[in-house]
A = this chain, B = another copy of it.
Amino acid sequence: MASHFLKALSINHPIIQAPMAGGTTTTELVTAVSEAGGLGMIGAGYLNAESTRQQIQDVKRKTKKSFGINLFVPQSYQIDEEKISKAEEALQSFQGSSKVRVFRSFEQTEKDFHDQITVLIEEKVSVCSFTFGIPSDEIIHTLKQAGIYTIGTATTVAEALAVEASGMDAVVMQGSEAGGHRGNFLAGVEQSMIGLMALIPQTVDQVNIPVIAAGGIMDRRGIQAAKCLGAQAAQLGTALLTCSESGAHMLHKQAILEKRMQDKTTLTSAFSGKAARGIENNFIRDMRKVETELPPFPIQNTLTKSIRSNAAQNHDREAMSLWCGQNPNAAMPITVQNLMHKLVDEA
């Protein structure tokens, strides 16, 4: 079964690079992972159709190996002026706070998503994974007709069953250990916080499609453990984020690499309006008190955009989103090739 799964993805090793959106998954990162025999993934969640096409073509130019792409499934949202004003007030104390007043409507977000789908098909990307929900039957059907391998993301058995029922080919099970955004779409955030040790066995007992384990896996021990639990592959984010080829901000990498022994990641929805795990900083702490009243994703994400980019420019890690899984201790500042070598050689 495992080898069948690897064959379907045209990869040599059961290692998938997590599609970290927002600039981390550079063409260099994606290419290096695929060249090393894993599956590189373009995190296209925040890209428009044109940038999506651009990066796909860039990657294709640098590697002939299989790679994939990840899209955010748009979830319905409202633009609520009252909530936005309150959030702006709470954000005022942060350097770089600017009154962003251009919000994309849900309809525009949906159109962008459909345009991305068109690009994938035109560019014949071999693998497409989805986060934050399940695309329409029509989209899944179209992708499968085009020979694209589809992967859903789930955080509970119920969500995994929904992914399977949708006809997708495989499912990433995101454990509570995972850094970055929670992929829950049926469960509430708290209900979605299931550790992989408990999540993987009960999922493989109940779904028939291949299961990929994601969350806190940093080295060969985690990959082996995921296999013992019944997963076909492991998806690694934080371990690849600190690699030389990743586009994560230097301060982000440093924060993870310095975090040895500190046990300091936390969940916050203050950056984007959706819960995500990262290293605690002043922004997260200060926003805690208003966290439940903030506008939803992606409105809050738009509101904090200039704060985050100014913080990055000013080298102020206290207002950056420092996404990180629960085992930063094992992160290393090395090349993808060296990391993959360690993961595979010893696996």
Contact = CB atoms under 8 A, between A and B. Distances in A.
Interface of A: 156-158, 161, 175-177, 187, 190-191, 193-199, 201-202, 205-206, 213, 215-219, 221-222, 224-226, 228-230, 261, 263-264, 266, 325-327, 329-330
B266 A206 contact: no
A216 B177 CA distance: 14
Contacts of A205: 329-330
Q: Would you list the 3 A-B pairs with minimal beta carbon distance, nearest first?
A: A198-B216, A195-B195, A198-B326
A225 B213 CA distance: 13
Contacts of A187: 263
Copies in the complex: 2
Given A176-B195, A197-B217, A215-B197, A190 B228 contact: no
A194 B329 CA distance: 13
Contacts of A194: 177, 263, 326
Contacts of A225: 197, 224-226, 228-229
B157 A202 contact: no
A191 B157 contact: no
Given A202-B329, A205-B329, A330-B201, A224 B215 contact: no
5 contacts: A158-B263, A176-B176, A190-B266, A193-B193, A205-B329
A186 B330 CA distance: 22
B197 A216 contact: yes
B263 A330 contact: no
Nearest to A325: B198
B326 A263 contact: no
